[in-house]
Structure 1
């Protein structure tokens, strides 16, 4: 079927634009929320279904693996079905799989439902980005990205708070049921506005070998990262095998995809300087950011005695400046070089982690919250300019593929960042604990004095030693966390180099999104 390369649709106006923006943003919010909402509900889910918390974590892993595999397929699926039809199908299947998750009678059914949910969720984020950009005129593309970015910033913060509250006050299935009304509204609003704005459909052959290789290497990598800590990493034959499969699978995948006329993932996008450097900068930075989102609540709860709700409240202010500043950045971006905005974000992140690197076991709530507030400001200047750089200069028909591939790499780096940081935290905690205990024992006057004070307070010898060991453990874990924060701060400064490796077509150039003409 011979068709023009691309259909140009006029920008939306008035109520249609507002409704379209709301519907697409809600879809992203629902999707991102579901990747984090189950985290704090794992004890409730595993207890209710009669499995261990370790088995319960497969509820998170299964979603992540399926989601990571399906995101980069967005470009190919869009050509097959059209972006509006694909988005609608993804949303409706997401609603159905959410209902199946809530109805699951056992852990096996829940994991299968979560795999389906993760797989169908893949195209939702890149397609919402593409559809939103096509709704605005080119001069307003930065504002469109700002509105879209706000939902991706807020959802990871709301997820754990909402999941904990629902699990405590209702029952865990409701963390999935809440998607049903949101998803149905999104589907109705999207179809009523966008059904006449479908992209060109081109039937191209399925790259079956490329798809199989993608599933193999991404699945092996995600399993290796998720199970590494539990199985003591490379001391386990299973982890070594998964690593070999992931590496060999990735090498074969790259070789195969580069030789295909219709690859399942368009790796040629990495030949573009803006795309390659922008994706590297946003993905590594997101890995550092996401890893800290895991470390901070864990440190507060396991070492400093915070409850899950209190830890959530400490982390929640990150959304304040992110929400307030995102529209401002959206208006400012067309007038300035996006690289300066991104550089400011990276300097802000570096400041945040340098401040956190000064934490100690006596840190108060005020000093915990100040870096979190600054982080929110940095986040508002992070996603928007880098996404603008990554997508700048792409042909309209390439936007879904470019958005899908960049989101895939970012999501993968987020998972890797969380796994690497928690492993580093454990290893550095063990190292600091062993160093601190070298100066204990009866050869240490400080140790003897502390033990005597505890004995005089009526505490038995074993209990006293237990209390002192706990104090050392808290100190060691805190020192390990600050080590990681120092490392992250310097890495953020180093990533500024890759921001300036990009060359936007012109200062504040709007993103060329299909139909935004």
Structure 2
């Protein structure tokens, strides 16, 4: 991401269109398949291992606290490495970085599958995160470059399906593989995907021009990486360690704040050499797009983190059934993305984004009406509507975010764009799960206040169900109260996310629609 004073004006590749797009028009379909496979492989691994954690813990003799590092190590490594994508592709070439990332990710997946100890799988997941960090931003940059601007919406619809479907289908596929094979297959499944993706990238993608003399802002990289890494650890371990009541959490929060403050100062005072390209902040569409994509990550991942425990723990759904009722959300996303790709050139993209957020808010309102007595269809339809909403948001949002951004800024822009979604998902998951824990206790206290013999419900039915004269009866009643308090806490989370979704809608008005001729720079890679 760093540039000299000269390269800040022109970037590592002044015309990536001609470097990567020229001559590839006849192979656009094969290139798309290759990079979509890489995208699916990376996004799938962000959630596919979640449901297999109990099996891993038993097989590797790890505690619940220890096995969580299988998830944390991957997320932290990916978060730290993502901002490096722009600089690496400018220094060594996009194709070379892409192929290295696919090979490294595939080998790391194999190492995860054959791991025999907790230390081995955590180290392998760290490698997965480091190599996989570049896959999503590079695939997005390639998709934008091999398609003319008037087809960007359709291209982003295809790319967006891979980004959105991976996290949605991850738990379902992971549960099926774990139940029918072993937990190791949630990693082995990446091997054929990685091989096919590598062959396609090697055969059909052309290398971009490189700048071997491109300098690197080591201090900026270190401070940003430390701030992201400490923030990720703070978010992942905060709930487990009771947040600021833990010395570890206080240290992580302090280190994250101090590191980020140093990074801001370094970036603001840099003269020519900066790890973060400040030209990105001059584009209003891009900055607004970051904020909205942050919300997409929060809504998508937080909902996916809340629904499985709600369905399995409180409603008694088996793992496979829970995955099946959540799955239609992905169908809704695919449908709306295909429609949005076609409509974006005919309808103001801002209207589609607004529609998407409103549909998402509607689905969260429906989820906030969940009860213990409901049909599976009551779970399927809100998820399907949420999928529709997120799909309508993703395609036009991605298109508009990069519609006014100069092509030479895309490598940096796509990495920061992906990072905003990752941070949004981390914050969303941590905050929502913390609220569930805290509000369960609060709702438990409120419900207990109504447990007395003066309550008509107590007189009518509870004595037959719970004999408060015995310790077992009192314990059973307390367990039921806790279950209902937890259910109310989940409902409260859905309401909070609904309000956050509606509050985000006005941000769409800050984006401006690209008008006028496409210009020669765009036409250079408009190869049909």
TM superposition score normalised by structure 1:
0.94
Once residues 354 and 33 of structure 1 are traced to their aligned partners in structure 2, the CA distance between those partners, rounded to angstroms, is: 27
Are residues 1:78 and 2:126 paired? Answer: no
Counterpart selection for 1:109 from 107, 113, 120? 120
Counterpart selection for 1:226 from 236, 248, 251? 236
**What is the alpha-carbon root mean square deviation over aligned residues?**
2.3
Once residues 71 and 485 of structure 1 are traced to their aligned partners in structure 2, the CA distance between those partners, rounded to angstroms, is: 30
CA contact (8 A) 1:66 1:118 kept: yes
Cα distance change of structure 1 residues 305 and 460 upon mapping to structure 2, 3 Å threshold: farther
SS in structure 2 opposite 1:352? helix
Deviation at 1:509? 8.0
Report the equivalent of 1:61.
72
Report the equivalent of 1:174.
185
CA contact (8 A) 1:206 1:264 kept: yes
Deviation at 1:443? 4.5
Counterpart selection for 1:92 from 103, 121, 125? 103
Once residues 323 and 167 of structure 2 are traced to their aligned partners in structure 1, the CA distance between those partners, rounded to angstroms, is: 11
Report the equivalent of 1:138.
149
SS in structure 2 opposite 1:336? coil
Are residues 1:390 and 2:394 paired? Answer: no
CA deviation vs aligned residue, 1:9-67 (integer Å, no higher than 9, x gap):
337445x2221111111100000011111111111111111111221110000000000
Deviation at 1:4? 7.4
Report the equivalent of 1:488.
497
Which stretches of structure 1, 4 residues or longer, exceed 4 Å deviation after superposition?
1-4, 507-510, 512-515
SS in structure 2 opposite 1:127? helix
SS in structure 1 opposite 2:345? helix
Cα distance change of structure 1 residues 203 and 504 upon mapping to structure 2, 3 Å threshold: farther
Cα distance change of structure 1 residues 223 and 500 upon mapping to structure 2, 3 Å threshold: same
Report the equivalent of 1:162.
173
Q: Which moved more, 1:167-176 or 1:459-468?
A: 459-468
Cα distance change of structure 1 residues 200 and 44 upon mapping to structure 2, 3 Å threshold: same
Structure 1 gaps of 5+ residues are none
Deviation at 1:445? 4.4
CA contact (8 A) 1:392 1:509 kept: no
- In the alignment of these two chains, the number of paired residues is 513
SS in structure 2 opposite 1:35? coil
Deviation at 1:183? 0.5
Cα distance change of structure 1 residues 4 and 291 upon mapping to structure 2, 3 Å threshold: closer
Are residues 1:28 and 2:28 paired? Answer: no
Once residues 147 and 455 of structure 1 are traced to their aligned partners in structure 2, the CA distance between those partners, rounded to angstroms, is: 55
Once residues 236 and 499 of structure 1 are traced to their aligned partners in structure 2, the CA distance between those partners, rounded to angstroms, is: 39
Report the equivalent of 2:252.
242
Counterpart selection for 1:461 from 449, 470, 474? 470
Once residues 471 and 296 of structure 1 are traced to their aligned partners in structure 2, the CA distance between those partners, rounded to angstroms, is: 20
Report the equivalent of 1:10.
22
Once residues 78 and 264 of structure 1 are traced to their aligned partners in structure 2, the CA distance between those partners, rounded to angstroms, is: 14
Deviation at 1:348? 0.5
Report the equivalent of 2:3.
none
CA contact (8 A) 2:293 2:420 kept: no
Deviation at 1:444? 3.5
Report the equivalent of 2:211.
201
Report the equivalent of 1:432.
443
Deviation at 1:257? 2.3
SS in structure 2 opposite 1:334? coil
Cα distance change of structure 1 residues 455 and 114 upon mapping to structure 2, 3 Å threshold: closer
CA deviation vs aligned residue, 1:234-260 (integer Å, no higher than 9, x gap):
111211111111111111111112333
CA contact (8 A) 2:337 2:394 kept: no
Once residues 267 and 244 of structure 1 are traced to their aligned partners in structure 2, the CA distance between those partners, rounded to angstroms, is: 25
Once residues 233 and 522 of structure 2 are traced to their aligned partners in structure 1, the CA distance between those partners, rounded to angstroms, is: 36
Cα distance change of structure 1 residues 515 and 265 upon mapping to structure 2, 3 Å threshold: farther
Once residues 288 and 321 of structure 1 are traced to their aligned partners in structure 2, the CA distance between those partners, rounded to angstroms, is: 15
Matches within 5 A, 1:249-398: 249-260=259-270, 261-398=272-409
